[in-house]
Structure formats: C-alpha cells, structure tokens
C-alpha cells in the first residue's frame, strides 16, 4: 500500500541528508493551490508560498513549478519568487523559448475550432486555448454532457492521424501535439541536464503528473489527494499537507549542510 509521506518522514529525511542538493518540482492546481470551480480564482496556500520562497533562495535547492497552465498565468497567480522557474503547458512553455513549427500550431488551432463548433455550447464544458495546446474542462458538466464532449473530442483528435493526443487530468482533458512529450520528459530533462547530482522531488495531483512520477523513480515522488493507483512513491492528502511538507523540507535543507562541504 502506498505510504503517507509525512508519516514516513524519517526515511525521507535520511535521503535529504545524504543528498548534495534537491531538484524540487511542483504541480500548481490541486497541489500548491486548491482546486476551484473558476481556475482564474486559484490561489496558492500562503504557508506553501512562504516555504517555497525560502526554498528557492537556498543554494542547495533548485525549484520549478510545472503545470498545464501557461507560464504567464503561473506568474500572474504566484507572483515573482526569486530562484523559482515556471514551466508551462506541461513543460513546453518554458524559459528556453522552444518554438514549434507553424503546421503544428495550425493543427492545434484547427482542431480546437472544430471541437468548439461541434460542441456548440454544450452546457458545463469549456475550451481553454493554450497556443501550443488546449484543454477541455468539464468540471461543471453533467455526466451526459461530459460523455458527449469526450466522444466528440476523441473523434476530432482521431482525424489528425496521430498528430495529437489526449491526456486526462482532474475534470479536464489536455490535448497536446505529439511534439509535447509531457511533464515526465520535461522534468527529467531539466534534472539530468542541469543538476544530475541532486535528489529529485516531485509533487503532483492528477493523471498528467504520472509520467513525471515514472521519470523520477530515483527520487521522491508524491501524489496529492485520495489514495488511488499511482506511480508515485508516496501520497499527501491535500494542499495543506503539501504546505506542511514544504515547511519540513525547508527546515531540513536549512539546517543540513551538504555532505560534500
């Protein structure tokens, strides 16, 4: 059975004390910020933000927030935290300024328009344009409406002959071009390319985070929310426990010198 991270803290603490540093990756919605009916109203837990600010200033910590949201949205919702890097749209919207071919952008845009036309205002279903991707939110849709939306989405994506894929999240379907490999590829690339001697930590809450759990098996991973099948090593019950985890992590990284010093 999956373990509660905070109840196994002594084991986590041992690994932190043995590590030269930490590469910390955090999802936003449902992890740092409680899920809300209106995504524009999402707000990071105050204690989590304070702990994350201190962590990002620690020379032994590298910190990222990776989300399905655009990088600009994350900056607006979280504000500037020195030392923190934002990776938007599952890692494809990042500071490295990766550009996509015009035909990829056109395929995403045309698919989004086709779906919007077919949905024709289906109650409770909203499409969010992310440029290189789009999301279909169904948090406020009834079962019948959500089922219809998924069937239409699968149909328009199938017509693109493998150019796009659907990644299910928490009451949302993310539609990504095949060039966007997802959070797992993004976080492993950041870790291995820049800080391979650090211990990777990843905390997320839904299906879009599973690829990251699988990509960072060497590290410490935790899924937020009700216990369910997951590739994460641990679970955290809610955003309040995420905040507590960040506080304990910050305290440990502050008082424990690098084993190489």
How sure is the predictor about 38, in pLDDT bands with cuts at 50, 70 and 90?
Answer: confident
Residue 209 clears pLDDT 80, i.e. is over it? yes
- Give whole-number Cα distances, 61 to 5, 144, 198, in Å: 19, 46, 9
- Specify whether 113 is located in the same domain as 135: yes
Residues 6+ apart with CB under 8 A from 255: none
What is the model's pLDDT at position 251? 96
Candidates 69, 133, 64, 68; CA nearest to 100 is 133
- Specify whether 199 is located in the same domain as 249: yes
**Is 238 part of any domain?**
yes
- Specify whether 48 is located in the same domain as 150: no
Residue 96 clears pLDDT 70, i.e. is over it? no
Q: Which domain-ending residue is among 177, 209, 226? A: 177
CATH number of the domain enclosing 108: 3.30.70.1020
* 90-104: b (≥16 Cβ within 10 Å) or e: bbbbbeeeeeeeeeb
- Specify whether 139 is located in the same domain as 243: no
What is the model's pLDDT at position 171? 87
**Is 219 part of any domain?**
yes
**Is 260 part of any domain?**
no
- Specify whether 218 is located in the same domain as 169: no
Task: Report the relative pairing of strands 199-204 and 220-224 from DSSP bridges.
Answer: parallel
- Specify whether 240 is located in the same domain as 121: no
Q: Which domain-ending residue is among 124, 147, 177? A: 177
Provide the mean pLDDT of the chain: 91
**Is 46 part of any domain?**
yes
Residue 215 clears pLDDT 90, i.e. is over it? yes
How sure is the predictor about 210, in pLDDT bands with cuts at 50, 70 and 90?
Answer: very high
Number of structural domains the chain divides into: 2
Candidates 43, 63, 4; CA nearest to 223 is 4
Q: Where are the alpha helices (DSSP H) in the chain?
A: 9-18, 46-56, 71-78, 102-119, 143-158, 183-194, 210-215, 239-255
- Specify whether 172 is located in the same domain as 195: no
What is the model's pLDDT at position 194? 86
How sure is the predictor about 94, in pLDDT bands with cuts at 50, 70 and 90?
Answer: low
CA distance 152 to 142: 15
**Is 261 part of any domain?**
no
**Mean pLDDT value across residues 111-126:** 93
**Is 48 part of any domain?**
yes
- Specify whether 91 is located in the same domain as 194: yes
Q: What is the DSSP letter of 170?
A: S
Q: CA-CA-CA-CA torsion for 218, 25, 11, 6, nearest 10 degrees?
A: -140
What is the model's pLDDT at position 181? 83
pLDDT > 70 fraction of the chain, expressed in percent and rounded? 95
- Are 166 and 159 contacting, i.e. CB atoms less than 8 angstroms apart? no
- Are 152 and 135 contacting, i.e. CB atoms less than 8 angstroms apart? no
Sheet holding 172-177, edge to edge: 126-129, 134-137, 172-177, 164-168
- Specify whether 65 is located in the same domain as 7: yes
How sure is the predictor about 17, in pLDDT bands with cuts at 50, 70 and 90?
Answer: very high
What is the model's pLDDT at position 92? 84
Task: Report the relative pairing of strands 234-236 and 220-224 from DSSP bridges.
Answer: parallel
What is the model's pLDDT at position 99? 59
What is the model's pLDDT at position 257? 67
**Is 167 part of any domain?**
yes
Show the domain range for 68.
Answer: 3-97+182-255
**Is 32 part of any domain?**
yes
**How far is C-alpha 134 from the chain's CA centre?**
15
CATH number of the domain enclosing 88: 3.40.50.1000
- Give whole-number Cα distances, 212 to 18, 32, 100, 227, in Å: 23, 17, 22, 18
- The SS3 call for residue 63 is strand
- Specify whether 151 is located in the same domain as 202: no
**Mean pLDDT value across residues 32-38:** 88
Q: Which domain-ending residue is among 155, 177, 199? A: 177
- Specify whether 172 is located in the same domain as 191: no
How many other CB atoms are there within 10 angstroms of residue 133's CB atom?
23
- Specify whether 187 is located in the same domain as 250: yes
∠ CA 137-138-143, rounded to 5°: 165
**Mean pLDDT value across residues 134-157:** 94
How many other CB atoms are there within 10 angstroms of residue 38's CB atom?
8
């Amino acid at each position: 059975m999956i373990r509660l991270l905070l109840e196994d803290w002594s084991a986590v603490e041992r690994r932190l004390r043995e590590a030269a540093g930490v590469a910390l990756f955090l999802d936003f919605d449902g992890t740092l910020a409680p899920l809300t009916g209106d995504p524009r109203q999402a707000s990071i837990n105050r204690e989590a933000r304070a702990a994350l600010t201190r962590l990002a200033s620690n020379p032994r910590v590298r910190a990222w927030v990776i989300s399905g949201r655009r990088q600009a949205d994350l900056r607006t919702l979280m504000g500037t935290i020195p030392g923190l890097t934002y990776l938007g749209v599952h890692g494809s919207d990042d500071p490295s300024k990766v550009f996509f071919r015009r035909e990829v952008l056109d395929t995403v845009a045309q698919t989004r328009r086709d779906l919007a036309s077919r949905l024709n205002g289906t109650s409770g279903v909203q499409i969010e344009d992310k440029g290189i991707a789009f999301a279909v939110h169904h948090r406020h849709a009834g079962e019948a409406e959500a089922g219809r939306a998924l069937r239409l989405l699968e149909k328009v994506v199938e017509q693109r002959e493998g150019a796009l894929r659907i990644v299910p999240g928490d009451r949302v379907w993310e539609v990504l071009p095949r060039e966007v490999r997802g959070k797992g590829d993004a976080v492993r690339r950041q870790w291995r390319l820049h800080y391979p001697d650090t211990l990777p930590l990843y905390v997320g809450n839904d299906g879009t985070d599973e690829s990251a759990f699988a990509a960072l098996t060497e590290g410490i991973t935790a899924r937020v929310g009700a216990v369910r099948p997951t590739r994460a090593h641990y679970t955290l019950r809610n955003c309040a426990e995420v905040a507590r985890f960040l506080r304990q992590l910050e305290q440990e990284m502050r008082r424990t010198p690098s084993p190489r010093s």
